[in-house]
Amino acid sequence: MVDMEKRECSCRKWELTGIPCKHAIASLNEMVDNNEKVGELYTYVHKVYWLDTWKEMYSFKVEPIKIRSMWPKSDCPTTLVPPPHNKAIGRPTKKRRITTKEMIEIQQLTVSKRVTMPGPARTKMGIDV
């Protein structure tokens, strides 16, 4: 459903983009074939896309940014200081992750320690067979 007076279509592409969708263009072609008054085609596109709007937007002069030495000095009495650094208590965490190969080697070492350690030493270390 296309409403040419409200400039709306049921697909909502015309309202979202501001450019007539294929349904609106088909309606315009049908209106021309039926000798209905269509007017200027650019008026069916949102005003944002008009050349006059673009010329108006870019009519002002853009000044280049000056070098830092040419910046005006600030009268602000405060100075910016970095936030305080709080060092965490205790041993820092590891940043490296153990690979699966290393994990297998660690598991094999713990198994071999269980077998080679005498009974009382195993219980003191918390290793139980």
pLDDT given at position 52: 92
Q: Residue 14's closest CA among 30, 32, 4?
A: 4
Structural domain that includes position 30: 2-57
Examine residue 100 and state whether it is found in any structural domain, yes or no. Answer: no
Q: Are 72 and 47 in contact (CB under 8 A)?
A: no
Residue 123 lies inside a defined structural domain of this protein:
no
H or E element in which residue 50 lies: none
Whether the model clears a pTM of 0.85, i.e. scores above it, the answer is: no
Hey, what are 111's tokens?
A: 């198994």
82 within a domain of the structure (yes/no): no
Position 129 scores a pLDDT of 46
Q: Which of 48, 50, 53, 30 minimizes the C-alpha distance to 4?
A: 30
pLDDT tens-place values along the chain, 129 residues long: 888 888 889 999 999 999 999 999 999 999 999 988 888 888 899 999 999 998 998 888 877 877 888 888 888 888 888 888 888 888 887 788 889 999 999 888 888 766 555 555 555 555 554
Domain count, the chain: 1
Q: Considering the domain boundaries, does residue 80 fall inside one?
A: no
Please check whether residue 88 lies inside any domain of the structure.
no
The three-class DSSP label of residue 33 is helix
Q: Which residues contact 27 (CB under 8 A, 6 or more apart)?
A: 2, 4
